[in-house]
């Protein structure tokens, strides 16, 4: 018999055993957390908040719930510079022996872009790390890839358009990603 088939059976036997003794089964509500690198995450189950510090890999709410009680784990407050999602965070106690949700967090990401001047032909290709973008002739703006909060970016010209020399204006092509899209990179193209 598969393990997944035994869980509901075990939960039922536990519940029946407690009911025979006059008790009621109660369950911990908790789970795992991955990639939480900053503070500020607050989970909630019903009206019970649970602050979770950076680096934690597991969580458990203080309040246990009785058999048949619904649970709904949500993110009440996202951590700084990150977004967390929950899988397996809702249901009814008693279907499994324990309640185990999975919280997965990732850094917020933002695009890098800016303005282009003098681009009168096709062929301009910009690069940032492993991300590239081709900028069409007569374009006046561009956007390239996404960069995670706190990571660095450095826009450069990968391929020059025929007959032009395009350069990233000093002081605009690189930096450390903050909490918003970057729109200040300036590319100037002139006849070669």
The segments of the chain whose pLDDT lies below 50 read 1, 3-6, 9-22
Q: What does the pLDDT read at residue 9?
A: 47
- Six-digit token pair at 160? 């020059």
CATH for 109-191, among 2.60.40.10, 3.90.1170.50, 3.30.1360.100, 2.20.25.240? 2.60.40.10
Provide the whole-model pTM: 0.76
**According to the model, what pLDDT value does residue 27 have?**
94
* Residue 158: closest CA among 123, 111, 122: 123
Q: Any bridge partners for residue 86, and if so which?
A: 103
Sequence-distant (≥ 6) Cβ neighbours of residue 74 within 8 angstroms: 43, 44, 45, 86, 89
pLDDT at 95 (0 to 100): 66
- Give residue 15's pLDDT: 46
Domain boundaries, the chain: 3-107, 109-191
């Amino acid at each position: 018999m598969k393990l997944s088939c035994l869980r509901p059976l075990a939960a039922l036997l536990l519940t029946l055993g407690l009911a025979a003794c006059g008790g009621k089964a109660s369950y911990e509500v908790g789970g795992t957390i991955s990639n939480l690198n900053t503070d500020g995450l607050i989970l909630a189950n019903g009206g019970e908040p649970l602050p979770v510090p950076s680096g934690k890999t597991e969580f458990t709410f203080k309040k246990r719930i009785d058999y048949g009680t619904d649970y709904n784990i949500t993110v009440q407050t996202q951590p700084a510079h990150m977004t967390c999602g929950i899988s397996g965070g809702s249901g009814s106690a008693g279907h499994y022996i324990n309640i185990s949700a999975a919280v997965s967090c990732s850094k917020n990401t933002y695009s890098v872009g800016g303005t282009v001047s003098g681009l009168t032909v096709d062929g301009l290709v910009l690069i940032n790390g492993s991300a590239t973008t081709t900028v069409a002739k007569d374009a006046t703006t561009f956007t390239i890839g996404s960069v995670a909060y706190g990571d660095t970016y450095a826009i450069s010209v990968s391929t020059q358009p025929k007959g032009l020399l395009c350069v990233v204006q000093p002081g605009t092509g690189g930096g450390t990603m903050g909490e918003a899209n970057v729109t200040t990179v300036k590319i100037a193209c002139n006849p070669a």
